[in-house]
Amino acid sequence: MARNILNRKDLGKQSEAPEGSVKGAEQPPAEDSAPQEAQPTKLPKPTKRSKKADKEVRLKAFWGVFNQNLRRVALFEYSERKQADKKAEELTQSTKIPHFVQLVKEVIQD
């Protein structure tokens, strides 16, 4: 059950033809219009846009004491690692819930 393939260009020409013309008769294209149809129109090349540079964000390192639910319990300066470890041990012993120390980087606000 093959369908007839419709040629959209022919249908367009038929609809543009004057009312008195015969449907089946096609006029051969003029010689001047043939070279124009053969050459495809060239589209301009898309321009490459440069990406905007992200604003530099300065970060500062801290030691954070976290519980097992990843909730930050305490925050210490980077040079105070021993104090952060002590705090994690104290909280682990007192609450019977494991606490750990992890590096935290926060944005410096000017």
Which has the minimum average pLDDT: 26-30, 80-84, 98-102? 26-30
pLDDT per residue as tens digits for the range 46-83: 888 888 888 889 999 999 999 999 999 999 999 999 99
Strands, sheet with 72-77, edge to edge from the N-terminal-most edge strand: 72-77, 59-67, 99-107
Domain assignments of the chain as residue spans, ordered by start: 59-107
Higher pLDDT, 44 or 84: 84
pTM over 0.85: no
17: tokens are 């033809």
- β-pairing, 59-67 vs 72-77, is antiparallel
Are the C-beta atoms of 63 and 78 separated by less than 8 Å?
yes
Higher pLDDT, 17 or 35: 17
Percent of the chain with pLDDT over 90: 45
